[in-house]
Amino acid sequence: MFGRRRGAAVRQAMEGTPRADYLPEEARDRAGIDAPVAIGHEATCSQPTTVRTMLELLDVRPGQRVLDVGSGSGWTTAILARLVGPGGSVVGVDVVPELVEDAAARLRRDGLDHAAVRVAGEGELGAPEAAPFDRILVSAMARDLPRPLVDQLADDGLMVLPLEGRLVTVTRVDGEPRVEPAPGWYRFVPLQGS
């Protein structure tokens, strides 16, 4: 019952956030394909089934504080904002200023005032000044478990990220990470600074 309820919430949030609305004009004709779509600057908008899997694993709840690492076009940031509702907040970070600018405009257009995106600080991973977060979504491949992101999780917080080709969930218990692999293999752009 629990998994079905979360799956329904994710499906509803994704349906309420059309991917085409978060793609550059020249890429919108590819919004309906179940594959990554290039959005410029060597970045992609992730495959919808992968996004759905990651969000179901992340188990976002209304009212939570969420960090979206590798926010790209802002699509996942917007979906997360719908999942947390106006009582929650989402901070998206990306290393490409042009993507952040476009994503911010899309979030404003859609009235998602409880979501914001910003350029990642020089040599910084995540948004440490806004921590702790109940949930962290990472949409870039890490080579090693990024300890700076683990440190930004609240106790009993949950992070989902691709780690060496596998999706993993990371929970923080008594300050220490507990890593669990999810089924399947995935490809993402590399996580800078990991």
Catalytic residues: 46
Bridge pairing between strands 115-119 and 89-94: parallel
Strand partners, 118: 93
Peptide bond into 97 cis (omega under 30): no
- Which residue stretches of 85-117 are H helix? 97-109
Structure letter (DSSP) for residue 27: G
Question: Is the CB of residue 138 less than 8 Å from the CB of residue 159?
Answer: yes
| Alpha carbon distance 21, 31 (integer Å) | 9
